[in-house]
Amino acid sequence: MIIIGSDHGGYETKEFLKKQLEKNNHPYIDCGCDGSSVDYPDIAELVCRRVLKDPGSKGVLVCGTGVGISIAANKIKGIRAALCGDYYTAKYTRLHNDTNVICLSGRAIGCEAAWELLNVWLTTEFEGGRHTLRIDKITAIEEKEYTNE
C-alpha cells in the first residue's frame, strides 16, 4: 500500500501522482491535504504513522521544497525518508538505504519528473548485504538518547 500526503505547496503534484498510481494499479491511501493551507509536519506525521502501522507499505510526501516534510518525517522512529530530486537518488535510496518514505518537491520539479522519481523508487528493491549493517547502525542511533551535554 502507498500512503500519500502533501501540504498545500505539494497538493497539485500529489493529485497528479495519485492519478499515475491509479493508472499503474498501485493502491494508495490519501492522508491529505485537500488543497487548503496545512502545516507539513502534521501531514508528515499522519503518513509516517500509517506507514509504520502497515508493514510493507511505503510513504510519499510532497511539500513546496520537499525539505521541511522530509525533516519532519525523519523525526519519527522507524522512518527512513529521503528527499529525491533526481533519478539516481530515488533509485539508490531504495537500493542502499531501504527508505520507506520518499519526499518530493511540489515546486522545484514538475509533475512528470515527480512521477518518474516515484516510479523508480517504487520499483527498486533493497539490495541488502553490506547495506543491512548500515541500516542497523541507523536504527541503533535512533535508540540512543541524546542531550546537550
40 Cβ neighbours under 8 A, 6+ residues apart:
7, 9, 61, 63, 68, 69, 72
Angle at 112 (CA atoms; ends 23, 40), nearest 5 degrees? 95
Residue 8 amino acid letter:
H
Q: H-helix or E-strand containing 62?
A: strand 58-63
Rounded Cα gap, residues 128 and 135, in angstroms: 9
Rounded Cα gap, residues 19 and 16, in angstroms: 5
C-beta neighbour count of 18 within 10 angstroms: 17
Contact 43, 32 (CB under 8 A): yes
Residues assigned a catalytic role:
63, 96
